[in-house]
Structure 1
Amino acid sequence: MQEVKTGVAVIGGGPGGYTAAFRAADLGLHVCLIEQGNRLGGTCLNVGCIPSKTLLHAADVIEEASEAAKFGVTFSSPEIDLSVLRSHKADVVSQLTKGLDTLCKARNIDRRTGTATFTGSHTLAVRGQEESTQVHFDQAIIATGSQAFKLPGIPEDPRIWDSTTALALTTIPKRLLIIGGGIIGLEMAQIYHALGTEITIVEMQKQLIPPADRDLVQPLFLKLKKRYSIHTDTRVGAITPQNDGVEVSLEGKNTSTQRYDAVLVAVGRRPHTADLGLAALPLEPNDKGFIPVNQQQQTRLPHIYAIGDVVGDPMLAHKATHQGKIAAEVIAGHQVGFTPKIIPSVAYTAPEIAWAGLTEKEAQEQGISLDKGKFPWGASGRALSSGANLGVSKALFDTESGVLLGAGICGANAGELIHEAALAIELGATARQISSTIHAHPTLAETFAFAAEMVDGSITDVLPPKPRRK
């Protein structure tokens, strides 16, 4: 077994891992980056965020072409070449992964391919296909991410998919059941519906995208219920593969048994910590499999750090990258910590849904009094002129201090628009400060300022809200 020594061993080459490795190298540290796959980028780049957004863009083009008939512009039905679409997706991923390879080499990072297992408090065994390596490290960063959660009792069958299988786009089923009405499930539904599949969605909670406020999801739901068969507050019972499909029983308000050509299980993800050999440190995850850390991303062993999905929700790439930078900077001696007020979330559906900070239901649970401004996109000139009137912008201000605590947007490009709200929350902006910031007209961005105007009382684009009783 080959033996190497390094200052910082980073386990996992996803967004959090490669960011940590690159930042540590930029700060003058010797870094060994260990990734079990042949390409950097992890789930997000290779089989998650990037391929799904590439396919979602194709779905958006198909939908926009169809809806253009409302403006008097008519296109013929699209001809879809799956092989070309798959190749385009692969090219996008390849371009980005090659870019990461270049950045990694330019930083003189010692890159190892294989599965890493702790064998001691300062040693790792890296087992690759051709050779094994013993890595001696001073500090280590665990960035192994997560994997799709598997429902117990579901049989193994090629027609029962996880998100990775769905994104492979090997076949277009006539009827697809999606178990889970969260972000992943809805994004996959949009892709396959655009390609001609009949979609059924089952969600055990009372609404789609359960973490978001109901009124934020409602515009999307009103659109989707005309296109999909949606069953909320419903559980999946038996799943039985048959010769002519997969038989699934649904248990809820409308109990039934149906057959589908494919079933996608999209009920969430779980941290990937089981095979790391944490007992050798010793280090033990909590009952949910997450590794507890402090604001410096340190575990109970100060020289062992953890970032990203393995440390807890939300399991988002942009959270992991920021934590990766924090861990690298702490190791380099900087006095920093991971202390964000908010972490924005985005569902890349059509319309998109994005939110940041406190939601209304969280405020209610915590007993926080809010002043709410909610501006309908049906009153936005830019939204109406671009056919994007299905949407709403919402701003939530603390009644006592007046500062922005949370915001949500449902509408076209909501994922791009939410960041003004995110910055405003971080800076403690008030409704007056937001509304007095001049926004270009006509834009979708100004709808957030209108939501703030509804709270400070200066709104003129809709009727002013009724005065609050003192």
Structure 2
Amino acid sequence: MKEISCRLLVIGAGPGGYVCAIRAGQLGVDTVIVEMAKPGGTCLNVGCIPSKALIRAADEFALAAAMAAGTGHIGISVAEPKIDLARTVAWKDGIVGRLTSGVAGLLKKAGVKIVLGRAAFRDGKTVEVETETGQQLIRAENVVIATGSVSAELPALPLGGNVISSTEALALAKVPGKLAVVGGGYIGLELGTAFAKMGAKVTIVEAMERILPQYDAELTRPVARRLGDLGITVLTSAKAKGLAAKGDALVVERADGKDERIASDKVLVTVGRLPVTEGWGREELVLDMDGRSIRIDEQCRTSMRGIYAIGDVTGEPMLAHRAMAQGEMVAEIVAGHRRAWDKRCIPAVCFTDPEIVSVGLSPEAARAAGKQVKVGQFPLSANGRAMTLGGEAGFVRVVARADNHLVLGIQAVGTAVSELAAAFALAIEMGARLEDIAGTIHAHPTQGEGFQEAAFKALGLALHV
């Protein structure tokens, strides 16, 4: 058996793992990273990036279809469009391939040794990797567990055949005629909306009382209206019970207790994700757990000396950018730098139609924390750029302390508002006050002006509304 030693071993080359390894390599730390599939993890290969590619294709097709039907409103006419989903998927795969190759190149540039295979702990300092060429033993001074997460399954709807997860949905060769989506969270709504725009008849089944329950109702209202405009049926307070006997329909228990059959060519299950805490030898370690997640402190240290954990395996929020920030921090700690997790906020973005951005506290959350707040909200129907994008159904909202005007939270819903996430997060991270935002010149015409206008509104100085 081949043996190698290193100062840092990273298990998992998803966003958190590969960023950790790259930064460690840049800092001169002898680093090895183990990945059982392709660099980039779920996010790059079968999650964030490919889903956004599919959403972009769906948006373009829907726009062309509207123009062909004469319902487009910008004066352009086209012949009847068609979509070849296999070619769309091939285009998506090309983007993914370029990015995975790029990650591998960055790792090599940083001097990181890449080992392809399945890793399993022998003890807290030793990991055995099963590779195509045999067993590889790696001894490390420090280990980072970055094994990510997998799609949660429902006992009543085991994956297989016509029951698929987001992974299979992103690789379909043709648009299903009828698609039932179980789960009204961001994954289900993003993919359900995309397939509806490509021509599928979509039904969304959500067990909670409303869709996107992690966001406040005011933010999700424009999304719910748009789902109706697209002809998507939404069943809330409904429970998926399983497939019909013939496998051609999903059986749902409605809020009134009665069963309903939803004809379905495919059933997409999007009921969340679970940390990957099995299959890599956790039983050989003594790790404190927080439910199904690995418990960590403010430096991502686990209960065992020299073992860190980052990303989805440590629980919510399961966001790639959180994992990246954790990975960078841990690499610097291993290199001897003084670091700790002191982030004021982690942006959350939902790529629905319209998009949702939430950073920091909502008005309800701030008040629940006992804070007196000022809230400024600016409608995008009064923003020139939003009008040109056809995205007037939305708003930008700023939440600040009533006494000193310190910004506590910023939210927006509208077309392409995801691009405002960086400005929102920076404002909170830098400790901005309403006066700072209102006093900053925002370029015209942009949707970013809505940010400034919301601050003006909170100060009682609204200009354009």
TM-score by length of 1: 0.94
Quote the residue 2:12 is aligned against: 12
Equivalent residue in structure 2 for 1:218, among 207, 221, 226: 221
Residues 8-47 of structure 1 deviation map (CA, whole Å, 9 limit, x = unaligned): 110001010010011111111111100011x200001111
Quote the residue 1:396 is aligned against: 399
State the Cα distance separating 1:83 from its structure 2 match.
2.5
Distance in structure 2 (CA, Å) of the matches to 1:193 and 1:201: 11
State the Cα distance separating 1:108 from its structure 2 match.
2.6
Structure 1 residues 17-56: aligned runs within 5 Å: 17-37=17-37, 39-56=38-55
Contact 1:373 1:452 in 2 (8 A): yes
Contact 1:203 1:232 in 2 (8 A): yes
Residues 282-337 of structure 1 deviation map (CA, whole Å, 9 limit, x = unaligned): 214222x1111111111112310110011121101010001000000000000011
Equivalent residue in structure 2 for 1:452, among 441, 455, 459: 455
Quote the residue 1:295 is aligned against: 298
Structure 1 residues 16-415: aligned runs within 5 Å: 16-37=16-37, 39-67=38-66, 69-226=72-229, 227-240=231-244, 242=246, 245-253=248-256, 255=258, 256-287=260-291, 289-415=292-418
Structural RMSD (CA): 1.6
Distance in structure 2 (CA, Å) of the matches to 1:350 and 1:388: 9
Change (3 A) 1:456 1:362: same
Distance in structure 1 (CA, Å) of the matches to 2:65 and 2:428: 38
State the Cα distance separating 1:72 from its structure 2 match.
2.1
Contact 1:66 1:74 in 2 (8 A): no
Contact 1:138 1:303 in 2 (8 A): yes
Distance in structure 1 (CA, Å) of the matches to 2:213 and 2:280: 32
Structure 1 residues 453-468: aligned runs within 5 Å: 453-462=456-465
Contact 2:299 2:340 in 1 (8 A): yes
Higher alpha-carbon deviation: 151-160 or 141-150? 151-160
Amino acid at match of 2:266: A
For the residue of structure 1 that corresponds to 2:51, the secondary structure is helix
Contact 2:357 2:412 in 1 (8 A): yes
Contact 1:157 1:241 in 2 (8 A): no
Distance in structure 2 (CA, Å) of the matches to 1:278 and 1:254: 42
Distance in structure 2 (CA, Å) of the matches to 1:261 and 1:197: 10
Distance in structure 2 (CA, Å) of the matches to 1:166 and 1:241: 23
State the Cα distance separating 1:241 from its structure 2 match.
5.0
For the residue of structure 2 that corresponds to 1:209, the secondary structure is coil
Distance in structure 1 (CA, Å) of the matches to 2:205 and 2:372: 34
Contact 1:155 1:240 in 2 (8 A): no
Aligned length: 459
Quote the residue 1:468 is aligned against: none
State the Cα distance separating 1:195 from its structure 2 match.
1.7
Contact 2:249 2:261 in 1 (8 A): no
State the Cα distance separating 1:199 from its structure 2 match.
0.6
Quote the residue 2:446 is aligned against: 443
Quote the residue 2:429 is aligned against: 426
For the residue of structure 2 that corresponds to 1:400, the secondary structure is coil
Distance in structure 1 (CA, Å) of the matches to 2:174 and 2:246: 18
Distance in structure 2 (CA, Å) of the matches to 1:428 and 1:215: 25
Contact 1:181 1:209 in 2 (8 A): yes
Uncovered stretches (5+) of structure 2, i.e. residues with no partner: none
Contact 2:8 2:142 in 1 (8 A): yes
Higher alpha-carbon deviation: 321-330 or 75-84? 75-84
State the Cα distance separating 1:156 from its structure 2 match.
4.6
Residues 43-101 of structure 1 deviation map (CA, whole Å, 9 limit, x = unaligned): 01111111111111111112333455212222222121223212111110111111112
Distance in structure 1 (CA, Å) of the matches to 2:84 and 2:458: 50
Residues 221-261 of structure 1 deviation map (CA, whole Å, 9 limit, x = unaligned): 11112320011222222333515x13322321484222211
Residues 323-355 of structure 1 deviation map (CA, whole Å, 9 limit, x = unaligned): 000000000000011221110011112211111
Change (3 A) 1:440 1:156: closer
State the Cα distance separating 1:133 from its structure 2 match.
1.1
State the Cα distance separating 1:219 from its structure 2 match.
1.1
Distance in structure 1 (CA, Å) of the matches to 2:210 and 2:370: 23
Higher alpha-carbon deviation: 446-455 or 245-254? 245-254
Contact 2:180 2:262 in 1 (8 A): no
Contact 1:32 1:111 in 2 (8 A): yes
TM-score by length of 2: 0.95
For the residue of structure 1 that corresponds to 2:244, the secondary structure is strand
State the Cα distance separating 1:5 from its structure 2 match.
0.9
State the Cα distance separating 1:382 from its structure 2 match.
1.9
Uncovered stretches (5+) of structure 1, i.e. residues with no partner: 463-470
Amino acid at match of 1:30: D
Distance in structure 1 (CA, Å) of the matches to 2:326 and 2:334: 12
State the Cα distance separating 1:412 from its structure 2 match.
1.4
